Homo-oligomer: A and B are copies of this chain.
Amino acid sequence: MFIYIAGSGAMGCRFGYQLFKAGNKVVLLDKWEDHIQAIKKNGLTITGDKEDNVKIPIMHPEEATEPADLIILFTKAMQLPAMLKDIEQVIGENTKVLCLLNGLGHEDVIKQYIPEKNILMGVTVWTAGLQGPGVAILKATGSVNLQSIDPNGEKEAEKIVDVLNQAGLNVTYDKDVVPSIWRKACVNGTMNSTCALEDCTIGEFFASEDALKVVHTIIHEFVEVGQATGVTLDEKAITDYVMHTAEVAAEHYPSMHQDLVQNHRLTEIDYINGAVARKGDELGIPTPYCHMITELVHAKEHVLGIR
C-alpha cells in the first residue's frame, strides 16, 4: 500500500518506520528542515527497544505528487489545516485519511477537505520520542482504535486495519471510537496543561490533594460536555483511567511541557481544554476550569513571546 505520513515527528516516524518495514511504500512528509535533511542524508535512525536505520523517503508536504492509498495525519493540532491544504494534490477519490492527532474537533476540519466516506478517526496509546533530527526513540508497545465516520465505510476500513496490523501496530476497528478519543483528550486535559503550567512531571503534579481537585474538576467538565454532545462517557471509568495513566507515566513530562517549557513552542491547548471550554459555551455548560487553564497557558505563551 502507498502511504504518506503527514506530520513525521516522533509518532509519525514510529508509524512510518513500522509500515515501511512491513513492506509498504511509505513517504514521510514534514516541514522541519533539519529533520528532513538528516533523514535524506543518513536515513531514519531508530533507537530504544531496538537499533535500526532505514532509507525512507521524506519531503515537504507540497512536494508530494503521487496520489496515496492512505494518508496518516500526525501533525500538531494547529498545523492540521495547513497540512491538508499542502497535500490536496495527493488526495485521490479513494485515498483514505486516518487522523491520529491528539485532541478534539479535528473531524470538523478534515471534513472540509476529505469526503466522509474516506475519513477514519482514531486514537492511539503508542508513544515515541525524538532524540534529535532523524533519530526516533521507540520504546514499549501500544495500540490503535479507529472507525470510519461513514457507517458504510467499515468494510474498507478493515483493509486499512489489516495493513496496519501487518506492521505490528495492534489496531482494532472500533464501532464507537469517539469515547476513546474523548478519554485520551481527558488524559491530556488533566496532565498536559497542568504540568506545563506547574513545570513538573506527571507524578509530581498528581502527588497533592490540591492537584487532584483540579484533575477531578477538569474530568467532570470533560464528561459533562462530552455527554451533552452525545458521547457516552463514564466519569468513574475515565477517572480510573486518568489515575492509572498518571501512575504509569509518573516520571514523564507530558508533551505540552516539552512544547511550552522546554522548547518555547505554542501548545495544543485550544484542541484539548480549550475545545471543551468552547463546546461547553455553545451548549450552556459551565467549564470554568477548562477556561481558566486555557487562558493561563495562553498567557504563559504570551509571556514567553511565542504568541
Contact with B along A198-211 (1 / 0, CB 8 A): 11100011011011
In the complex the two chains form, is B288's CB within 8 Å of A208's CB?
Answer: no
| Interchain CB contact (< 8 A) of A204 among B205, B214, B291, B303 | B303
Instruction: Indicate whether A302 reaches chain B with its CB closer than 8 angstroms.
Output: yes
Instruction: Indicate whether A295 reaches chain B with its CB closer than 8 angstroms.
Output: yes
A205-B303, A288-B289 known; A295 vs B197 contact (CB < 8 Å)? no
In the complex the two chains form, is A210's CB within 8 Å of B295's CB?
Answer: yes
| Interchain CB contact (< 8 A) of A296 among B197, B298, B303 | B197
In the complex the two chains form, is A292's CB within 8 Å of B198's CB?
Answer: no
The majority secondary structure among interface residues of chain A is: helix
List residues of chain B with CB within 8 A of the CB of A293.
292
Which chain B residue has the least Cβ–Cβ distance from A261? B199
List residues of chain B with CB within 8 A of the CB of A300.
198, 200
Bound Cα distance A198, B198 (Å): 8
In the complex the two chains form, is A299's CB within 8 Å of B208's CB?
Answer: yes
Q: How many copies does the complex hold?
A: 2
How many residues of chain A have a CB within 8 Å of chain B? 29
A292-B288, A292-B289, A292-B293 known; A298 vs B210 contact (CB < 8 Å)? yes
List residues of chain B with CB within 8 A of the CB of A286.
286, 288
Instruction: Indicate whether A252 reaches chain B with its CB closer than 8 angstroms.
Output: no
List residues of chain B with CB within 8 A of the CB of A199.
199, 303
Bound Cα distance A240, B291 (Å): 23
Bound Cα distance A288, B218 (Å): 11
Instruction: Indicate whether A170 reaches chain B with its CB closer than 8 angstroms.
Output: no
Instruction: Indicate whether A217 reaches chain B with its CB closer than 8 angstroms.
Output: yes
A residues 55-95 touching B (CB-CB < 8 Å): none
Bound Cα distance A300, B307 (Å): 24
Instruction: Indicate whether A213 reaches chain B with its CB closer than 8 angstroms.
Output: yes
In the complex the two chains form, is A210's CB within 8 Å of B302's CB?
Answer: yes
Bound Cα distance A204, B293 (Å): 18
Contacts A207-B303, A289-B292, A292-B293 aside, 12 further interface pairs with beta carbons under 8 A come to: A198-B296, A198-B300, A199-B199, A200-B300, A204-B303, A208-B298, A208-B302, A210-B294, A210-B302, A214-B292, A288-B288, A288-B289
15 A–B contacts, CB within 8 A, in A order: A194-B299, A197-B197, A197-B198, A197-B296, A198-B300, A198-B303, A200-B300, A204-B303, A208-B299, A211-B295, A211-B302, A213-B291, A214-B296, A286-B286, A288-B288
Q: Which 4 A-B pairs have the closest CB atoms?
A: A288-B288, A208-B302, A210-B298, A211-B299
